[in-house]
C-alpha cells in the first residue's frame, strides 16, 4: 500500500472531504437558505462530482414530491393547538 493510500485511509481524500462539506450544505441549498458563496461552491462541486449530483437530485425530487403531495392536506383537528400547548408547557419546566 502506498503512502498516498495510507494517508487517504487515515485522513480521507480531499475529494471525500469536499463531498462531506458539500453534502452538509444540502438541506440549506434545497431550502434556499444558503448564502450566494455557499450556493456557488455547491454548484461548482456537483458539476464535477456525479455521486453528489445524484444525491442532490434524489433529495430534491423527494422534497418536491413531499411538497406537492402534502401541500393540499390540512393537519388533523386540534393538532396545532396541541403543539402550541406542549411548547408553552415545555417553557415552564
**Buried residues in 43-57 as b, exposed as e (16+ CB within 10 A):** eebbeebeebeebbe
C-alpha cell at 73: 392536506
What pLDDT, in 10s, does the model give residues 8-63?
554 456 666 788 888 889 999 999 999 999 999 999 999 999 999 999 999 999 99
User: pTM for the complete prediction?
Assistant: 0.59
Q: What is the pLDDT of residue 5?
A: 55
Predicted local distance difference test score (pLDDT) of residue 18: 82
Task: Report pLDDT for 72.
Answer: 64
Residue 74 has pLDDT above 70, yes or no: yes
Spatial separation of the C-alpha atoms in residues 21 and 26, rounded to whole Å: 9
75 band by pLDDT with thresholds 50, 70 and 90: confident
Amino acid at each position: 500500500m502506498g503512502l498516498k493510500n495510507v494517508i487517504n485511509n487515515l485522513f480521507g481524500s480531499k475529494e471525500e472531504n469536499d463531498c462531506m462539506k458539500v453534502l452538509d450544505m444540502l438541506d440549506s441549498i434545497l431550502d434556499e437558505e444558503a448564502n450566494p458563496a455557499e450556493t456557488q461552491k455547491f454548484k461548482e462541486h456537483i458539476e464535477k462530482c456525479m455521486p453528489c449530483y445524484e444525491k442532490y437530485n434524489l433529495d430534491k425530487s423527494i422534497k418536491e414530491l413531499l411538497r406537492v403531495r402534502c401541500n393540499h392536506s390540512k393537519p388533523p383537528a386540534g393538532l396545532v393547538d396541541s403543539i402550541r400547548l406542549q411548547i408553552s408547557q415545555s417553557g415552564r419546566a
